[in-house]
């Protein structure tokens, strides 16, 4: 299925997030968010669960990362999509908190391969990710001579 990108923009407290409560098939949606907050992703009046990834030997994602000697979820999401371990994973849930835009990208690739029932990916509060990039020391160091913003000229 071809991807369609839709941006919902509005002032604070105008119902952008609350609108998720009215999705027709919320179990087919996944929310990637920068912080823990209400997802408004419900089925039959109950909030859908957070992302859980486990195997018969590892009870959750942190245990799985430790067993595989992988330091970050982002690395896991990127590496497992082409790995035979994918078929051994038990994957459930409809939302996950990620710290960086790079991890969000890795998670989207993982969802695409490992969670075919997901039809809608919502990246909540996208501006939080962009703000984090623009405020980073690496980005600021590129600002000499306008290099950081050169793509925008």
Is pLDDT larger for residue 113 or for residue 8?
A: 113
Residue 110 confidence class, pLDDT cut points 50, 70, 90: very high
Instruction: Output 139 or 62, whichever has higher pLDDT.
Output: 62
DSSP code string of 58-119: -SSHHHHHHHTT---HHHHHHHHTTSGGGGG-EEE-SEEE-SSHHHHHHHHHHHHHH-TT--
What confidence score (pLDDT) does residue 153 get? Answer: 44
pTM of the model: 0.80
Can you tell me the mean pLDDT for 18-26? 86
Average pLDDT value over all residues in the chain:
83
Residue 138 pLDDT greater than 80, yes or no: no
pLDDT confidence of residue 124 = 84
Q: Which residue has the higher pLDDT, 115 or 16?
A: 115
Read off the pLDDT of each residue in 63-73 and give the average, rounded to a whole number: 93
Sign of the Cα torsion 114, 120, 125, 126 reads: positive
């Amino acid at each position: 299925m071809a991807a369609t990108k839709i941006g919902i923009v509005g002032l604070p407290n105008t119902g952008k997030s609350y609108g998720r409560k009215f999705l027709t098939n919320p179990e087919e949606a996944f929310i990637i968010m920068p912080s823990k907050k209400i997802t408004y992703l419900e089925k039959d009046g109950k909030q859908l669960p957070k992302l859980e990834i486990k195997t018969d030997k590892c009870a959750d994602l942190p245990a799985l990362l430790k067993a595989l000697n992988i330091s970050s979820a982002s690395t896991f999401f990127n590496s497992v999509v082409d790995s035979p371990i994918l078929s051994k994973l038990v994957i459930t849930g409809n939302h996950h908190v990620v710290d960086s835009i790079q991890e969000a990208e890795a998670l989207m690739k993982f969802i695409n391969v490992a969670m075919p029932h997901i039809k809608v990916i919502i990246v909540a509060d996208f501006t939080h990710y962009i703000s984090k990039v623009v405020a980073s020391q690496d980005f600021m160091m590129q600002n000499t001579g306008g290099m950081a913003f050169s793509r925008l000229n």
